[in-house]
Chains A and B, each alone.
Chain A
Amino acid sequence: MRSIGIYKEGLKGGIIMFKDSYKRANDAVKLSDSQKEQMLDDIKKAKQRRHTRVLPYAAGAIAACLLLLVVLDVFSVFEGGLFHSVNKKKYDAKSYADIYEKLSPLCKGSNDLKGEGFDKVSVSEDMNGAAVPEATGSSEEFSQTNVQTEGVDEGDIVKTDGEYIYILSYTSSSISIYKADGENTELVSENELFQSSNSASIYYSDMYYYDDMLIIIANEYKSEYSNFFGYYHNVSEKTKLFFYDVKVKTSPELINSIAIDGSYVQSRLTKGILYVVTSYRVSSGVKKSSPETYIPSYCDENGEALVRASDICIPENIESASYTTVSAVDMENTGKLKSSASILGGSTDIYASSDSIIIYRNYSDHKETKIEVSDGSYTVLSDNADSNAYLYESSSKAYLYLVSMNGGNVEFTAHTTVDGYIDSQFCIDEYDGYFRVVATGETYRHAMREVNEGEMSYSQSLDIAELNENSKSSTTLYVLDKKLDVTGKIEDIASGEYVKSARFMGDIGYFVTFRQTDPLFSVDLSDPKKPKVLGELKIPGFSEYLQSYGEDLLLGFGMAADMYTGGTYGLKLSMFNIKDPTNVKEVACREIRDAYSAALYNHKAILADAKKNIIGFPVNEGYMIFSYEKGEFKLKGTIKDECSWNDNMRGLYIGEYYYVVDAVNVSVTVLDLNNFKLLCKK
C-alpha cells in the first residue's frame, strides 16, 4: 500500500502525511457565519429580482462582454465561413450501421456514457534518419524542442527558427514573437489568438514552426445548460488547428484552420506532415438513422464531413463509447485533412517514429469479492453471502494500437494488449522493424468495509497484513513485430519496483526502475526473439529522464533519494559511462537539494546538448545551466524568475547566445553562451 507522505530532512517528525496536511490547509479556507448569512440573503434577493446572474462583479462582467463583442465579431466570420457550412456528408450508411451495432450496447442510458481519456502519445524512432526541418533565415546553429525521435518534431509552447523566438502563452492566449539578437533581443509583436466565446472555451496547448508557418493546436469546449439534468455540461469538444503565416513577423496572418471532433491528445510533425491524435466521446442521444450522433466529424475548407466508415477500425473488445482518431495534414496544403483514421477505444498517450505511431492506453482490470475478516486475515465468501466486507483486486494493463503513417495516409494496422502500464512515450521505441515496450505490472489488493453513518454510507479500508505484502509490481520488456505479436520478452526484471525512465539506442535499451535504490538496467535487443539483461547498476536516487550525451555517455535527470528509506530530497544529475553496456558505471553525479523541476515529467523542459556541452532545466522558480567537464557537473549559471510553475520555462540557444523563455510572464532572458553571463531580460 502506498500513501502520499512528504519527507523533509530536518523537519520535526520527518514524515508529514499528505492528506492530513492538505485537510488542515483546506479547513482554513472559510467564510464567517455572518458573511454566509449575507451571501444567502443576496442569493435570495437576486432570485426575486429575476436577475440572471448574481455575480457581484457586474462591472467586470460588462467589461468582459464588451471585449467579447470585439473578439466575437472576428470569430463569427470565421465560424460562419468554416464551421457552419455543413456540406454533404460522405458516409457509408451500411457500414455506419455496423459501428452503431457495436456502440449502442455501450450507449444505453445516456448518463452512463463515459469517455476515454488520453494521456500521451509516443512516436517510434527512425534510425535511418528522417529529414530534420531545415533552418530558414539563419545560418547560426540553434537548438530545437527536445524530442524523443530525431526528425520527428513535437509540439511545445516555445519554438525558434534560428532567428526569431515564438512563444505561445496559454494564459493570455497570445503568440509573442521576439527577434533573437543577443543584447539587442526585442519583442517584435504580440498577437492575440481567438478568445473563447460565451458558449465555448478555448485552450491553447501546442505550437509548431514549419517553413514560415506557425501551427497552433487548441482545445475547444462548448457547454450547454440542460434543464433535464439541471446543470451545464460539455456538449462538444473539438481540437482546432490554426495555421498562421509568419513571413511578416509584425503581423502573422491566419491562413487556414481545421476542426476535428474530440479533445486533443498529442501530435507529431515529420516529413512535412502533421499528425494529430484526438479522443472523441460519443455523447447522449445516439440515433441509428443519424450517424452524426455517433461518428466523429471534421471540418476543413471542403466543409464538414464524417470520418468514413471504411476509415474506422473496430477492435474485438470495446468497452466504452469513444474513438481515437489520427488525422494527417500536409504542410504544403494546410486547408484540408490529407487523411484520417479512427479506432473505437480510448488512449493515454502516443509514441511516434518517422513512419509509425503507437497509441497506448493504460487501464486496470478490476475484481471485487466478498470476504469475511477476522484477526487481521480474511476468507473469501460467495457473492450472495451476508457480509459488508469486500476484497478489491486490480492489475494494470495497456492497449497498444499501431498506426502506419504511409506518408500522410494514416491507417490502423494492428493492436494488442500487454500486462502492465506504460509510464511514458520513452518506454516505447521502434528499431529495425521491431517495437520495444517496457511496462510496469502492478497488482493492488485491498479490503474495504461498508459503514453506515447517519445518511451517508462510506467504505473504510481494512488493515490486513497479508494484502500489504501482496500488492506488488514488476517490470516486463516486450519485443513486438509489425503485427504487434510478441517475438520475445523478459519478465519480472525488477520485482517490487516501478519503471521511471527508459531510452533505447539501437540494439541496446536502458531503463531505470525505482522503489528505494535506482537500478539502471541495460538490455541487449539485437535478437528480437531473445532480449536479455546485460547489466544492472544500483545507485541511490532515480532518473526520470535519460538521454545520450556524446560518445559513450548517458545523462540521467531525476531525484536524489535516501538509499535506505527511499525518501527523496532534491534533484539529481547523473552521468553514466555506457561504453561497455554489460558494465555501466556512474561516473559523475550532482545533487541539488530541496529543488524540483518540471523536467522531471516533461522532457521538453530540459535541454541537454553534448556538442555545446549544456544541460539546462528549470529549478524551483528559476532556471539552471550545467556543463559536464573533466568528469564533473559544473554549474554555469542560475537565473531567478518568478515562474509559479516552472513547466512554463524553456531554454534554447542560437549562435553565441542562450535564451531562457518564460511563457507565462512572457519574457526572454539572454545569456552569453561562452561564459553564461547575464546580458539582459526582455
Chain B
Amino acid sequence: MLFTVMRAGDNQNDGFSITADEAFIKYSDMVLRLAYQRVNGNFSDAQDIMCEVFYRLVKHKPNIESDEHMKAWLIRVTINCSSSLLSSAWHKRTCTLSETIPAQNGVASEDLTVYNAVMSLPKSIKTAIHLFYYEDLSVEEIAEAMSANENTVKSWLRRGRERLRAILNEQID
C-alpha cells in the first residue's frame, strides 16, 4: 500500500481562522476534482457543485477549528451536494451515466485509462479510492467524511483495488 496518510492530531487549534477567500483559493481544486469524479466527468455539473459547496460555506459559516477540519467539512459537503444532484429527477432525465473523458489537454492516454477505470467504479468505492490515493486521506478520515464505518471504507478500498486490477491488467508487486 502507498502510505502517505494525512493524519489529524495537530493540536494547535486555538485561534484558527480562515476566510472564505483563502479557503476558496486553497481548496477549490480539491472540491472540483472530487465533484468531477462524483458526477461521472460532467464538468459543468462539477462546477455547479463547487459553487454550491462554497456558497454553503459563506452562508452557514460553520465553526471550523483547523485546516483538517476545513478540508473534512468541504469533502463532506461536496459528497452530499453531488449525491443530491445525481439523484435529482432533473439530472436523471438529462444525464446518462456514461462518463466522458476529461476534456483536458496534455494528459497521457495511460493516465486517462487509469482515470476512467476509477470513474467506472461504483460511487462509494471510487470516492474512497479518490480520497485515499489523490487526497491522501487516512481510512479514518475517509470514514468520517463519508459517514461510514472504517471497516466499510477498508472494504471499499479493497474492492476498488481488486476491480481496478481487473480493469487495468494490474500487477501485484
Contacts and interface: CB of A to CB of B under 8 A. Distances in A.
A56 interface: yes
Contacts of B118: 22
Interface string A434-447: 00000000001010
Contacts of A116: 149, 151-152
B155 interface: yes
Interface in A1-32: 1-8, 11, 15-16, 18-19, 21-26, 28-31
Interface of B is mostly: helix
A461 interface: yes
A450 interface: yes
A137 to B, nearest CB: 32
A569 B3 CA distance: 27
Contacts of B150: 114
Contacts of B169: 6-8, 559, 567-570, 594, 596
Contact of B171 (A28, A452, A567, A645): A567
A68 B92 CA distance: 12
A26 B29 CA distance: 10
Contacts of A31: 28-29, 32, 47
A203 B166 contact: no
Interface residues of B, number: 102
A64 B90 contact: yes
B62 A231 contact: yes
A interface bracket (residues with beta carbon within 8 Å of B): 35 or more
A664 B97 CA distance: 8
Interface in B97-150: 97-99, 102, 104-108, 110-115, 118, 120, 130, 133-134, 136, 138, 143, 147-150
A459 B48 contact: no
Nearest to B107: A28
A42 B97 CA distance: 29
A364 interface: yes
A450 B7 contact: yes
A446 B111 contact: no
Nearest to A174: B92
A6 B32 contact: no
Interface in A64-99: 64, 67-68, 71
A60 interface: yes
Contacts of A54: 51-52, 55
A592 B138 CA distance: 37
Nearest to A234: B147
**A contacts with B: majority SS:** mixed
Contact of A600 (B50, B81, B106, B166): B166
B83 interface: yes
Nearest to B95: A171
Contact of B24 (A30, A36, A364, A569): A36
Contacts of A39: 28, 47, 50-51, 54
Given A67-B89, A568-B171, A601 B162 contact: yes
Contact of B90 (A11, A67, A230): A67
Contacts of A171: 92, 96-97
A221 B33 CA distance: 24
Interface string A449-465: 01010011111110000
Contacts of A664: 96-98
A385 B140 CA distance: 25
Given A47-B59, A459-B7, A2 B173 contact: yes
Interface string B74-89: 0011001101100111
B160 to A, nearest CB: 9
Contact of A25 (B2, B115, B159, B168): B115
9 contacts: A1-B173, A7-B170, A18-B114, A23-B134, A29-B102, A61-B90, A201-B84, A231-B62, A231-B76
5 interchain residue pairs of minimum CB distance: A117-B152, A230-B62, A64-B90, A461-B3, A25-B115
Given A5-B170, A28-B106, A230-B62, 17 more contacts: A25-B115, A40-B24, A54-B51, A67-B89, A116-B149, A171-B96, A230-B63, A231-B80, A232-B77, A346-B149, A448-B3, A459-B3, A459-B6, A568-B171, A596-B169, A644-B97, A644-B120
